[in-house]
Amino acid sequence: MRVLDIFRTVVRILLGAMFILSAVLKLITIDTFETYVYSFHLMSFTLAEVAARCLIALEFVTGCFLLLKAQYRWAWWVATLMTAGFTLFLVYVVLFRNDANCHCFGDLIPIEPLHSIYKNIGILAALVFAYWQPQKRLSLCRDEETGKRPSFTADDYSKKFKLWLLGISGGIAVVVLFILFPPNAVYSWVYSDNDLVATNIYDKAYADSSFYLKLSDVEYRAGQDTVVFRSDTARLNMDSGSYVLAVVSSGCKYCRQSCDLVNNIFERNNLDSNKLKVLVWGTDESIAHFMKETKTWKYEFHQISPYLAIDLVYGNFPTFAFVRDGKVVDAFDYRGVNERKIVEFVK
């Protein structure tokens, strides 16, 4: 085998491993990735969950085929078109959005969209270089008449193997993405549990405003990239109408992810920002950081003690409650966020 063929083989293997790594890292932080897909407001959250999982599955299967050189031409074209499509998408992100992370490798390896464009250009160049792959020929037993050994390429004997590979890799992707990591709509349907709020504690805290402080004059200052506010005693008013009440900790990763998602649901469906109330515990600095990270400074925040928060939701953060005319009528956790239910309840 020539040296150039060896280099092409190494590049192909590295490309396959990279696609697999990208899929696995997205899967590890699937909640953030599907929220990022949803943040473009092109589809409902349920469709965004499915689209995110299909994209991860496509990356994983393509990486497996590149790595093992199975159906190589098809895998090469899929990888090339997918990378080119991602690059065009990133150009849009750079021009029209201010994203700090494109989520190409999930949250564990954050990459700015502009840097990811350069990365994708390098991947496209590597794909072009690795297009021509050497065919390994196998010599079997000699022909009795000619005395020559017949030779076969890998494609001559591996069709069944390729079909098995396609089925196994696709099956693994489906099981992991839709069963082990089910979409929220499936999770809330199978594992629904509404007994998440201690209503006796909620009723007492709701009636007595001394349990919490309202964060007033909340303002995001772009120059300093920070949120400022002041605190005062003010009653949480949900006496009339339907509201979503979030009980969160400012230092909780899942609270940030969930509030970011709920904020996107409110924005996409043009819901009244007054219909979302947030009870948060944490220091002033951490709460300001929470508002900035989740872009939720336009909603009504009330700061409560950690003891009240823990007693109120049995220590499960985040917890979201549907409140109608001041009374809790339903509740769900971060895996139970459902766009359709929120929109129907609020509207």
Report the number of secondary-structure helices (H) and strands (E) in the chain.
13, 9
Q: Which two tokens stand for residue 168?
A: 């196994």
H-type helices in 176-211, by residue range?
184-190, 199-207
Angle at 115 between CA 294 and CA 90, to 5 degrees: 65
308 contact partners, CB below 8 Å, separation of at least 6: 201, 205, 211, 212, 281
* Residue 152 confidence (pLDDT): 45
* Residue 3 confidence (pLDDT): 79
**Rounded to an integer, what is the distance from CA 333 to the centroid of its chain?**
17
The C-alpha atoms of residue 90 and residue 117 are separated, in whole angstroms, by 6
Angle at 327 between CA 326 and CA 333, to 5 degrees: 115
The C-alpha atoms of residue 215 and residue 213 are separated, in whole angstroms, by 6
Neighbouring C-beta atoms of residue 294, cutoff 10 Å: 22
* Residue 163 confidence (pLDDT): 65
52 contact partners, CB below 8 Å, separation of at least 6: 26, 30, 33, 34, 37
Coil vs helix vs strand at 41: coil
- Tracing tokens 């009240």 back to the chain, one arrives at 308
How confident is the model over 101-152, as pLDDT tens digits?
A: 999 998 889 999 999 999 999 999 999 998 886 655 444 444 455 555 544 4
* Residue 157 confidence (pLDDT): 45
* Residue 181 confidence (pLDDT): 72
* Residue 273 confidence (pLDDT): 94
Neighbouring C-beta atoms of residue 115, cutoff 10 Å: 13
The domain made up of 199-346 has a fold known as: Glutaredoxin (3.40.30)
Answer whether 0.95 is exceeded by the pTM: no
The crossing angle, in degrees rounded to 10, of helices 284-294 and 253-268 is 40
- Tracing tokens 């954050």 back to the chain, one arrives at 110
Sequence ranges of the domains in the chain: 3-138+153-181, 199-346
Would you give per-residue pLDDT tens digits along the chain (347 residues)? 577 888 888 999 999 999 999 999 999 988 899 999 999 989 888 889 889 999 999 999 899 889 888 788 889 999 999 999 999 999 999 999 888 899 999 888 999 999 999 999 999 999 999 888 665 544 444 445 555 554 444 444 456 666 676 677 777 777 777 777 777 666 655 555 557 899 899 998 888 877 788 998 888 888 888 898 888 878 889 999 999 999 999 999 999 999 999 999 999 999 999 999 999 999 999 999 999 999 999 999 999 999 999 999 999 999 999 999 999 999 998 888 889 999 999 98
